[in-house]
Structure 1
């Protein structure tokens, strides 16, 4: 200790029994206050709120000392005393600082979103545990690696860090990572005191996971009949009739159908197979006064053999032909008396029956097969076909006078490929319907939904419904993906990728139209999110992406 004799800071060495072994002059000057007959540890106590037992404090001759205890040899401990005023306040401030550091560490590490820090050169300096869940890669893999290298290796498709460094402002975009999760990345520059970028903080949100959780919550709320404080009313057509009407074309068609429902003028519904002609007919009938006075009778003119079609439509008298009922039988027109008769595939009517149908339309009367007297009938006729009747008239395959009698109020239902806004809500409707029907809990991944949204659907709604039912029933896994598509659809999916319009561009086009339609219809982004069955932040981001304004915001 002699070499420390003139050092102004008190030093001492004591053994494991707290006895002084040696000390310097600065420490000796304190012995008067200590009392040589007393043990030095009688004057020391652990610093309040301090977990380190080797950090002690003492009050000697009215002065505060911070005493640091350090083992230097076996059975020997070095004591260093530092005089300070307000040592308790200083140490409490130090403890507060440590506590805040611990809290910030906990927030950083346990955040559900991934947090990714890089320096101004784009080199990763820190990540949190969530990055492993989102990307499937251990967080230590990223440390020290430049984001450019991660892009080259295929870990990242694009780097939000590079964009934030380049633009010197917060940048956000959505991308699918290499394990297939849809992620929202937001890179924010952090500046130093001179205003230069010091680091980039990137937040990574797993939208795939969040949408799954949101869907589960919605299902849970529905199952338990919970209601929010301000329940959002469903679309009128879905609420009352259980039908999807989202596109402008279909909204206009159903509004027209509602206005004409109580007029007895003949309606001709045109459109491809599976577009929903039957559904529109039901809607017209249910909105008419005839729903109270008569039945809706449906006849598929193409499904009944021509030789039986006349008796099915107009009925027959007793003994009209071999095997006929002895009491005769009323036909579809008589059964529909006071109500509505739907003649589906009316273009398949033979020419001889077209004449009899024309008589019903002109005179309001029918004549049974084998009968001699006409019967008056009060029937509203709705006809439908997927063929071009005008061209059939030109070719002599359909009577011109009947064509004009049927074509009083023509309604053309566009194919599903021309109203893609309806596809996504139809997917949700059919998936929910078949899950409930078969008591299953299947869901579609984003890639499959993207394909279903851009596919052309030659069979229209009927084909979409049938495919979804097929997938729900035949796929064993709860998560149904694009690889589960039947062979004929997978071939279309491959061809679709080779077309001039990429899948991404097609999906964006559908998104843009859906959002533009919703922005006109709904009051705010929360209502839009609920109608499109997605999250409000997603709606806000996509509205900004496509530069679409909500009418009341």
Structure 2
């Protein structure tokens, strides 16, 4: 039998023999080659660093930062107890430990994902026995998740907890299966089972996702209500935007005018031609601009106004339709777009349309019919998307009978006729307009003035042949020429004073005076108080009376109570 020293030398692995207490007794050349000659070290503990015991005879150690495995085997040599250590590369074990750690981390993450899923997740083995589920199943079914663990789905069906088993359908059909059913708690649920296959292609597990549809149905109903409410808010917002886009000159109080502007709001987004009729100065252009600002064309195109009676007839055609380069003497060498082109996607307002010559009426009719224009001197037609609004103070129907206005064009323009009454027929608008003009010109000229009661009475009673334009001009004139802060009847221009003192003029009735005074008092009250209750208390009357009076004079408080 070989001596121990020779025996260990014959072994092709690094070997070292230590006495009790770890004192090095022998080692082979393989050990010295890998770990240097350990003869200068007393104990095997001095050779390696970071000893870690894996089991009774197995250790992980490091040598110069590299991992190794030491397997210790007790032996008896010459009657002495010793331990023979075999050294091996520890890198595979270290890699395996890393893989195990990564797998453990992945397992914890997967458990966290499953546990925090809003849907219930239910996992069974190939026999249909529950191996894992999450807490969401308790919220959906009302039964703690611990109850399901280790139980077979067939047993759950027998106890009435499940009406139908998705798991067994998946196991039988070997494909994903979806079932809609009410569960034990009476909730409508959607169950989707998915098979998990092993390397042999056999179903190893079934993963079932359980979704509570009652919550989704409730959310769907709430979303539907929210969308309906949102649509309602959108419509209200559009109305508010429409009112916010009012031309600053829009001041209406009379029922007649309110009805006109409410109708204008209704037809704003319809491209039908509008014909606005009425005396000079009644506000036809203001209504036309309101139609534009209340429509979707406000966002896409311009509002172009042309006074057909203010442009010489020989220039009107080129202004409306434009001209090509060199079309006539003095024409720009670049040509010029007409007002129809400039109003593309917007609105073209033809004021005083009754002044159009017959030759241009024919071309205008063609534009309305074909939606195309042709520049003066041009040979090609161009498409235009223009909404036409026309206005006149003349009787077009009478002009048709006289042959000065084309009948076919008249009916093309008269699709939606709107008659704007003169100021004398809508007296409710007069004093609000006066107040508006007063404030406007005071801000413009930085002057503070006010009108006496007599002047306000005059404004209310005067017949205003020039309508709103005449009223605006007179207010501006009085503010500028009267030196005193309070403007009285004596400050009126001569032509107006004569009419106020005319012996044949109609005097106001007692009813008119009372209503005028009543309205002024209420108008001041709504500015001072925010509720009808406070106004009633201040004026010593009942709240229903105040409500009725405010409705009569079309006044309202800030919070409408």
- TM-score, normalization: structure 1? 0.51
The correspondence of residues 306-317 of structure 1 with structure 2, limited to 5 A, is 306-317=313-324
Q: State how 1:92-103 maps to structure 2 within 5 Å.
A: none
Pairing partner for 1:452 from 448, 452, 459: 459
Matched residue of 1:411: which SS?
strand
Residues 180-199 of structure 1 aligned to structure 2 (within 5 Å): none
Which structure has the larger Rg over C-alpha atoms? 2
Measure, in 2, the Cα distance between the counterparts of 1:368 and 1:477: 57
Q: Closer, same or farther in 2 for the Cα pair 1:333/1:275, shift >3 Å?
A: same
In structure 2, distance between residues paired with 1:543 and 1:308? 62
Match of 1:435 in 2: 442
The change in CA–CA distance for 1:239 and 1:285 in structure 2 (over 3 A counts) is: closer
Shift of 1:501: 3.4
Distance in 1 (CA, whole Å) between partners of 2:530 and 2:404 is: 50
- 2:306 aligned with 1:305, yes or no? no
- Aligned residue for 1:498, secondary structure, equals coil
- The answer for the alignment partner of 1:337 in structure 2 is 344
- Residues 401, 504 of structure 1: CA spacing in aligned structure 2 closer, same or farther, 3 A cutoff? same
Distance, in Å, in 2 between the alignment partners of 1:361 and 1:256 is 23
CA distance in 2, matches of 1:235, 1:420: 28
Q: Is the 8 A contact 2:246 2:293 kept in 1?
A: no
Task: Choose the corresponding residue for 1:265, options 263, 272, 297.
Answer: 272
- Checking the alignment, whether the CA contact within 8 Å between 1:237 and 1:244 is kept in structure 2 is no
Write out aligned runs for 1:393-408 (5 A): 393-408=400-415
SS in structure 2 at match of 1:303: coil
CA distance in 2, matches of 1:259, 1:544: 32
How far apart, CA to CA, are the structure 1 residues paired with 2:359 and 2:440?
43
Per-residue deviation, 1:499: 2.9
Distance 1:417 1:509, change over 3 A: farther
- Structure 1 residue runs of 5 or longer lacking an equivalent are 1-233
Asked if 2 retains the 8 angstrom alpha-carbon contact of 1:268 and 1:407, the reply is yes
* TM-aligned CA deviation for residue 420 of structure 1: 0.5
- Unaligned stretches of 5+ residues in structure 2: 1-239, 552-559
Instruction: Describe the shift of the 1:457–1:528 C-alpha distance in structure 2 as closer, same or farther (beyond 3 A).
Output: farther
The residue that corresponds to 2:505 in the other structure is: 499
Partners in 1 of 2:491 and 2:428 — Cα distance?
24
SS of the residue corresponding to residue 252 of structure 1 reads helix
Rate the CA distance shift 1:528–1:442 in 2: closer, same or farther, 3 A.
closer
Give the distance between the partners of 1:410 and 1:472, measured in 2 at CA: 37
In the superposition, relative to structure 1, how do residues 320 and 547 fare at CA in structure 2: closer, same or farther (>3 Å)? closer
Residue 477 of structure 2 corresponds to 470
The RMSD of aligned alpha carbons is: 3.5
Aligned-partner Cα distance in 2 for 1:258–1:238: 12
Structure 2 counterpart of 1:357, from 338, 357, 364: 364
Instruction: State the Cα distance separating 1:537 from its structure 2 match.
Output: 8.0
Distance 1:331 1:235, change over 3 A: closer
Distance 1:449 1:493 in 2: 12
**How far apart are the structure 2 equivalents of 1:239 and 1:371?**
38
Cα distance change on mapping 1:240 and 1:274 into 2, 3 Å: closer
What corresponds to 2:385 in structure 1? 378
CA distance in 1 between partners of 2:446 and 2:413 (Å): 44
Shift of 1:327: 1.3
Partner residue in 2 for 1:292: 299
In structure 2, the residue matched to 1:323 is 330
Which of 452, 464, 488 pairs up with 2:495?
488
Counterpart CA distance in 2 for 1:531 and 1:294 is 42
* 1:419 Cα deviation after fit: 0.6
Q: Distance in 2 between matches of 1:280 and 1:531?
A: 32
| C-alpha distance in 2 between matches for 1:458 and 1:244 | 19
Q: Is the 8 A contact 1:543 1:549 kept in 2?
A: no
CA distance in 2, matches of 1:299, 1:257: 21
The question of whether the paired residues in 1 share the 8 Å contact of 2:536 and 2:546 is answered with: no
Rate the CA distance shift 1:259–1:540 in 2: closer, same or farther, 3 A: farther
Q: Is contact 1:421-1:510 (8 Å) kept?
A: no
Deviation at 1:471, TM superposition (A): 0.5
- The answer for the alignment partner of 1:182 in structure 2 is none
SS of 2:496's equivalent?
Answer: helix
> Within 5 A, what are the aligned runs for 1:76-91?
none
Q: Per-residue deviation at 1:331?
A: 0.5
Q: Deviations over 1:228-279 (max 9, x none)?
A: xxxxxx9995895432121101110110101111111001111111111111
Residues 275, 416 of structure 1: 8 Å contact kept: yes
Tell me what 1:347 maps to: 354
Instruction: Number of aligned residue pairs: give it.
Output: 311
Shift of 1:507: 3.8
Q: Distance in 1 between matches of 2:245 and 2:346?
A: 25
Deviation at 1:544, TM superposition (A): 11
Higher mean C-alpha deviation, range 536-545 or range 239-248: 536-545
What does 1:198-217 align with in structure 2 at a 5 Å threshold? none
Matched, 1:425 2:421: no
C-alpha separation in 1, matches of 2:244 and 2:377: 46
| CA shift for structure 1 position 550 | 6.0
Retained in 2: the 8 A contact 1:274–1:462?
yes
Contact 1:238 1:244 in 2 (8 A): no
Structure-to-structure mapping, 1:32-111, within 5 angstroms: none
2:486 to 475, 479, 483: 479
Query: Counterpart in 1 of 2:141?
Result: none
